[in-house]
Amino acid sequence: MMNDIPIKSALKRQIAALGGLEAAAELTGISKSHIQRLADINARDRVTLADAAKIDEIAGDPVILRVVAAALGYRLDALATDERGTNLRRDANTLIIKTAELGSAVSEALEDGIISDNEVVLLTKMLIDLQARNSELLKALQGRRTG
């Protein structure tokens, strides 16, 4: 059986990187109580790959996934751009989805008429991600790689 302590420690590092438990819950959409249970070394709850990927993506560094890979005897390395290839349809669809998610997040943030500091952080991260994805799609289109 896999030792969960290093994974839970990695989760705790990501929670700190996201600005604490409250911010991590708000940024990821995972409830505060669930994140607490996932990070508790005495709790049986385990971080799912989906939750790990979401938290790592928002934090901007695959800390948890690297620890999981190491626990399984692998090393997690980023692929070089040319190894990843580019699929214009997939990238365009992802851009559409991310734009819709941003629109929903803005609407939710404006519901009470006040945008909190945590909402500003979330929306900023979403915009930066959207801008990066848009830039990648533009480069792929200009290079006409359709792989």
Distance, in Å, from the CA atom of 54 to the CA atom of 140, rounded to the nearest integer, reads 25
CATH fold of the domain at 5-71:
434 Repressor (Amino-terminal Domain) (1.10.260)
Distance separating alpha carbons of residues 53 and 77, to the nearest angstrom? 14
Among 19, 7, 21, residue whose Cα is nearest residue 60: 19
Q: What is the pLDDT along the chain (147 residues), one digit of tens a residue?
A: 678 899 999 999 999 999 999 999 999 999 999 999 999 999 999 998 889 988 988 888 899 999 998 988 888 876 555 444 556 767 777 777 788 888 888 888 898 888 999 999 999 999 998 888 888 888 777 776 444
pTM over 0.75: no
Where do the domains of the chain lie? 5-71, 81-143
Q: Tell me the residue type at 87.
A: N
